Amino acid sequence: MDWTQSVDPVFVFRLLAVALGGLATGFLGGMMGLALGRPRLLLVYWAAENPLAAAGTNLAIGFLAGMLGFLGHMLHLEVDWAVFAVIAPAAMAGATLGARPTGRMSPTALKRLMGVVMVVVALALFWVALTRP
């Protein structure tokens, strides 16, 4: 059987779009020092269509992207170690605690929570951009 007969062109298009979106998200994230997990989460969810799989996949990608970004900034001595020492342990503890209830939430509730978090973070970043020089 010819392998091209079993390839869904819509699925291939979605994967290419997600790959290009991931490239853009990674580029902007590396440039701004952000993991940009929210836009990436949207891309992963669009590809995976399962909020639980999207959350786990997004975290795995975020971990790798964050580590590479961290190494890049560390090599240029652009790390505030005092801030890192305070936030890193708290973020790791919070991530561990937050991963537990995810498996017990309905996909609809998880999608709504993701949307609320994205809106709140976007508003907070916009506020900081307006109020700080």
Q: What is the pLDDT of residue 5?
A: 60
Residue 97 token pair: 């605690």
Q: How many structural domains does the chain have? A: 1
Are the C-beta atoms of 118 and 38 separated by less than 8 Å?
yes
**In contact, 26 and 65? CB cutoff 8 Å:** yes
Query: If 0-12 CB within 10 Å is exposed, 13-18 middle and 19+ buried, where does residue 21 land?
Result: middle
Q: What is the pLDDT of residue 110?
A: 79
pTM of the model: 0.52
Structural domain that includes position 35: 3-131
Among candidate residues 91, 96, 100, the one with its CA nearest the CA of residue 66: 91
pLDDT tens column, 52-82: 777 778 788 888 877 887 888 889 888 888 9
pLDDT for 1:
43
Stretches in the chain below the pLDDT threshold 70: 1-6, 30-38, 48-49
